[in-house]
Structure 1
Amino acid sequence: MKFTSTDAYVATEDLTVAVNAAVTLERPLLVKGEPGTGKTELARQVASSMGLDMIEWHVKSTTRAQQGLYEYDAVSRLRDSQLGDPRVQDVGNYIRRGKLWEAFTTSERVVLLIDEIDKADIEFPNDLLQELDRMEFHVYETGETVKARHRPIIIITSNNEKELPDAFLRRCFFHYIRFPDMATMRKIVEVHHPGIKDTLLTVALTQFYELREQQGLKKKPSTSEVLDWLKLLLAEDLTAEDLRKDGAGALPRLHGALLKNEQDVHLFERLAFMARAGR
C-alpha cells in the first residue's frame, strides 16, 4: 500500500515520500510544522488513502505515557471490595485500555495518530521508546503481555513547543511540512473551494502572502486560516476589485479570520495610518 494525495488532501512529493518511507521502515513518522499546516489531517488522509481505520490519541499537558498503554483503577476496586462486589476477584475489570493497547489488538492494521506530542512532559516520548520499538508491553496487574497483532502505521505530530529527546528522534522518520508556496496553495484551495474565480484567488493569495511576510507579525496565519478567510470572502460575494480597493498596509477584509491577536491588528492599523499620512 502506498500513500498518495486524496480528493480532500494535497500532499507534496516530499511528504508522500516521507510517509511511504516510514511505512517501509516500520518507523513512526514524526511530522513537524507550523500549526494549521495539516499535520493532524495528514494522519486521517493516510488512513483514507490506504483504506485503514484510524485511532487518535490527542496529547495534553497532563497526559502521561502510561495512559496510552492502560490505567489501573485501584480506587474503584477498593470501593467495590468494601461493597462486596464479586467483580473485585478479577483485576481485569479495573484495567482501562489505552490507545496503544487498542491499536495493538485490532483485527486489522490501523493508523495510530499521536497528536501534539510536544505538549506533554519531556519524559513522555522516552517513556514510550520500548513499547514503540518492540510493539509490546507488559500489564503488571494481570501478568499478561500485550503484543501488536499488526504493526500500526504511527504518525506523531509536533508543533515544536519543546525539543524532543535524541533517543526518541533516532527511532522516528522525520519530516517537516514547509508552508505551501502559492502554486501548492492554489491546489489546496481548489480542493476546498472548487470553482473559485481565478482573479479573486490571485488577489486574495497575493494579499495573504504579503501579510504573512510582514515584519513584526507575532502569529503568521496558517493554511486553515486562509481557507476560512476565502470561505468568508465567497460568502460575502466579494470580488477581486473589492480587495484591490484596500490600500497598502491596510487591514485585509474580514481580517479576524487571519489575525488572531491584538498586537498584529495594531501593527496593521499603524501601517495603514502611516500609508495614509504619506499620501
Structure 2
Amino acid sequence: MTDCPFELPAEHRPPGGRHPEAPDPVPYIASPMLIEAVNLAIHLDRPLLLEGEAGSGKSQLARHVAATLGLPFYFWPVRSTSQAQDGLYSYDAILRLHDVHLAQLPGRRVGVKRHPQQPMNYVTFGALGRAFQVPECSAVVLIDEIDKADLDFPNDLLTVLDDPRAFSIREARLPPIRALHPPLVIITSNKEKGNLPAPFLRRCIYSYLEFPADPARLQEIIAAHGTAAAPRPAAETLEPALIDLAVERFLALRAQGNLFKPPGTSELLDWLRALGRAWGQRVGTADPAPIAALRDGTRLPFPELLFKQRVDWPRAAAGQAG
C-alpha cells in the first residue's frame, strides 16, 4: 500500500492489508486538501467533520478511506430521534421480559433460545460499539447527517470519542469496553438546524467540500465513475465530445447563481447516465439532435435529474441554461 495517500500507522492497519469487513473500492477523487484533512484526523485522533453541498461526496469519502486502507466500515445514519447511546448499543428489555415469561410456561423452557439471565443476549451493538471491538485494526465510522438529531447529540458524542474511548453496558456487570485501536470517525453535516455546538466544533477537524467547478476536475470525476458516469454497454456510452458539451452546459447552469438548490456532482453523474442511455454511441457528434439539446437556450434534456426544488422547476421548463 505504498501509494496510499492516507497515513495510518502500521500498528493500526489490518493484518494482510485488508479486513473482512472492509468495503469494496468506490470511485472517488479526493482533493489534496481533503486528503490532508483525513491525515490530520488520523494523526491527532480527532473526528473529521465534513460540510458541503448535498451530493458533493461527503458520505462517500468515508467508504473510500475504509476501502483504500482495507479497514472495516460501519455506517450510522442519524435521525431526528437518534441519541448518542444508539451508536454504542441498544438493549431490548421487552424481548428479555418476553423470554422470562416464556421460560416460566410449563413445558416451554426447552423452547427458549435466549437465556433471560444473560443480559448480553439482548444487546445489539451500534456502529461505534462495533468499531471499538475490532481487535485487529482501526475501523472507519461514518456518522451521517449529525445535525438531524437533537442539539445535545453532538456534545454527548464527545464523552465517547475522547480518551479513554470506552463505554459500559449498564444492564450487564461487565468491565467497560475499550477501543484497542482508535477508530477514524467521519461526520457529515448539512447545517439543517444551524451551527453545531461550539464545544463539539472545537473537538473536530473541519473540512468543507467545495464543488469542483473546474471542467478538468469534473472530467476526472466522470472518468473515475466510468464512461458516461457508469460502466455501461458500448451502445449506451456517450462520445467524449458530447460529455464535454454536457459538462459545459451543466457548469453554465450552476453559474446562473439563481437556483435554490444547484445540482451537484451526484446529479451530474445521474444526468450523464440518462444521456448515455438516450443517445449513447448510436449517435455521433455530427448528429445535430444531441448537440442542439445541449446548447444554451434550448430545452434541457432530463431536467428532473438536475432540478430538485419546486422553485427551480420553472427554469427547467423554460430551458434556461445561463
TM-score, normalised by the number of residues in structure 2 = 0.78
**In structure 2, what is the equivalent of residue 219 of structure 1?**
261
Q: CA RMSD in A?
A: 2.3
Partner of 1:93: 121
Q: Is the 8 A contact 1:243 1:253 kept in 2?
A: no
SS at the partner of 1:226? helix
Distance 1:116 1:234 in 2: 32
Tell me if the contact between 2:50 and 2:206 (Cα under 8 Å) persists in the aligned partners. yes
Percentage identity across paired residues of the two chains: 42
CA pair 142-73 structure 1, distance change in 2 beyond 3 A? same
Shift of 1:80: 2.3
243, 262, 270: which one pairs with 2:310? 262
CA contact (8 A) 1:138 1:146 kept: yes
Provide Cα deviations, 1:225-249, integer angstroms capped at 9, x if missing partner.
1111111112222655434424644
Q: Tell whether 2:124 aligns with 1:105.
A: no
CA distance in 2, matches of 1:211, 1:159: 22
Deviation >4 Å, runs of 4+:
238-241
Structure number with higher relative contact order (C-alpha < 8 Å, ≥ 6 residues apart):
1
- 1:97 Cα shift? 1.7
Map of 2:161 onto structure 1:
132
Decide which moves more: 46-55 or 230-239: 230-239
Match of 1:157 in 2: 188
Q: 2:37 aligns with which of 18, 41, 44?
A: 18
Distance 1:7 1:39 in 2: 13
Structure 1 residue 271: Cα displacement: 6.3
Unmatched segments (≥5 aa) in structure 1: none
Which residue matches 1:168?
200
Change (3 A) 1:253 1:175: same
- Secondary structure of the residue aligned to 2:176 is strand
Which whole-Å deviations, capped at 9, do the CAs of 1:135-188 have from their partners, x for residues lacking one?
Answer: 111222223311001111111111221221111111111100000122211100
What runs of 5+ residues in structure 2 fail to find an aligned partner?
A: 7-24, 229-237
Q: Does 1:178 align with 2:210?
A: yes
Letter in 2 for 1:255: P
Equivalents in 2 of 1:231, 1:59: separation in Å?
A: 30
Q: Deviations 1:58-92 (Å, cap 9, x if unpaired)?
A: 11222221111112222222232233268222222
Please, which moves more after superposition, 88-97 or 218-227? 88-97
- State the distance in 1 between where 2:284 and 2:50 align: 37
